[in-house]
Amino acid sequence: MSIPEISVHELALRLADHDPNLQLIDVREPEEVAIASVANFTILPLSQYQEWSPTIATQFNPQAETLVICHHGMRSLQMCQWLQSQGFTNVKNINGGIDAYALLVDPNIPRY
């Protein structure tokens, strides 16, 4: 099953809408998030999978739109695939990750 993607420009528009039903997940490591981040993302590092995975379906609504980000888009793609396998029906990978967001949308976000 293919994973839908959204561009960082579309992400910026969606964030500006302040949709309370939009779920935002960042799968980068805490030290990466400390360097560069976008507000309102829940941090779920893939390396800490054992800690957060048992509660994913209670922490998030499996039917709500869920956008996932990482550094460039590969780890977030893995997370999207896993979320789908857990019954999430509306997940999207943020194409290019936070690096593209910093480059194309918000130059105040540090690149690493």
Percent of the chain surpassing pLDDT 70? 99
Catalytic residue positions? Answer: 70
Question: What is the pTM for the complete model shown?
Answer: 0.96
Band (1; pLDDT cuts 50, 70, 90): low
At 81, list the tokens.
């695939």
19 Cβ contact partners less than 8 Å away, ≥ 6 residues apart: 65
Q: What is the pLDDT of residues 49-87, one digit of tens each?
A: 999 999 999 999 999 999 999 999 999 999 999 999 999
Which residues are within 8 A (CB) of 6 and not within 5 positions of it... i.e. 6 or more apart? 14, 67, 92, 93, 94, 95
Tens digit of pLDDT for each residue in 20-46? Answer: 999 999 999 999 999 999 999 999 999
> What is the H or E stretch that residue 85 is in?
helix 74-85
